[in-house]
Amino acid sequence: MDTVAEWAERIARRVAPDEIDFAADVGEAYAAGDGARRALFDRPGTEPGGFGPGSAAGELPVVLAALADTGRFIVHALSTQDVGNLVAVASLLVSLRGARRPPADAPDDARTALTRAYVELRDRLRAVGLPPDRAEHLAREILEEMVTDAVGAEDFLRRLDGGRR
């Protein structure tokens, strides 16, 4: 299975289980760009240029768009040396799950990078119309999934946006 299809399914399994059956197709269409990507958002009855949860077949296209828009922050966080330290990552993720600031004893680079990636992704999800609680939940869950396979996640993010990263 292609990296984009695999990661789209992983993300759907984690945050949009109702969309697992077509997640691979949605991921590949998004990564293809142009008309295939536009078709994910063009739905009868939506305003031209409208973008948000109501304009797509589900949340997954919106999530993929947010990931493409914030990928550089996530890639930076995933490539930070201390993200390889599972203990540091676990404490950072626990702090995000509890909606608290990362612990003071977490390595500065990892704490700063992961917090920035979380905030950027959360804010992008809010900007497309997701409720704040849902945006926070999605951002945490997606980042938790990505740190379990940082190399694979970086490859996915690069491919998702046509290798422009």
Averaged over 98-106, what is the pLDDT? 51
Closest CA to 165 of 92, 107, 78, 93: 78
Q: What is the mean pLDDT of the chain?
A: 80
Tell me how far apart the terminal alpha carbons of the chain are, to the nearest angstrom: 22
Q: Is 134 helix (H, G, I), strand (E, B) or coil?
A: helix
How would residue 62 be classed by pLDDT, with cut points 50, 70 and 90? very high
Q: Is 80 helix (H, G, I), strand (E, B) or coil?
A: coil
Residues 83, 71 contacting (CB under 8 angstroms): no
pTM value surpassing 0.95 = no
Per-residue pLDDT band for 54 (boundaries 50, 70, 90) equals very low
